Amino acid sequence: MTEYKLVVVGAGGVGKSALTIQLIQNHFVDEYDPTIEDSYRKQVVIDGETCLLDILDTAGQEEYSAMRDQYMRTGEGFLIVFAIDNMKSFEDIDSYRGQIRRVKDADDIPMLLVGNKIDLPRRDVDQKLASTYAKTHNMPYIETSAKTRQV
């Protein structure tokens, strides 16, 4: 069975753990409990093939930045998450993307840009801005809500 190592990165509080737990356990975690590092596994079917997702949910807090190189080295695909109600979290994505490219020493690393928290009434990051950023850097962009599962 094919195994894919995915790494979820982004600033603290953007919903990385909530997205991961929603995918793995089908429920929304309401309270914020800063992650240091959690690993999850789930069997899924992709393009008709059963495979195993090995998902590493990482720390967004700056004090854990030294650990980033280590887990980025092992990742095969990356979800770069920001919160649509937090412009600073969007501004941070460039440094995550740059760090991934530096650590992997490659340009063609599978990355997905994820704008989370679309269920919230306030939006600080315009959809067009995020979409243009993703297009410029050759990565797909989706908006979602870990809470409501909307895409």
Q: For 94, which DSSP code?
A: H
Domains in the chain and their CATH numbers?
2-143 (3.40.50.300)
Q: What is the pLDDT of residue 35?
A: 62
Whole-number average pLDDT of the chain: 90
β-pairing, 111-116 vs 77-83, is parallel
Tokens of 86: 């937090």
pLDDT one-digit tens code per residue, 40-85: 999 999 999 999 999 998 876 665 566 677 788 889 999 999 999 9
Q: Inform me whether the pLDDT recorded for 34 exceeds 70.
A: no
> 113: Cβ–Cβ under 8 A, 6 or more apart, which residues?
80, 82, 93, 130, 133, 134, 137, 139, 140, 141, 142
Residue type (1 letter), 94: D
How many Å apart are CA 16 and CA 6, to the nearest integer?
12
Structure pTM?
0.90
Residues in the chain: 151
Residue type (1 letter), 88: K
pLDDT one-digit tens code per residue, 106-139: 888 999 999 999 999 999 999 999 999 999 999 9
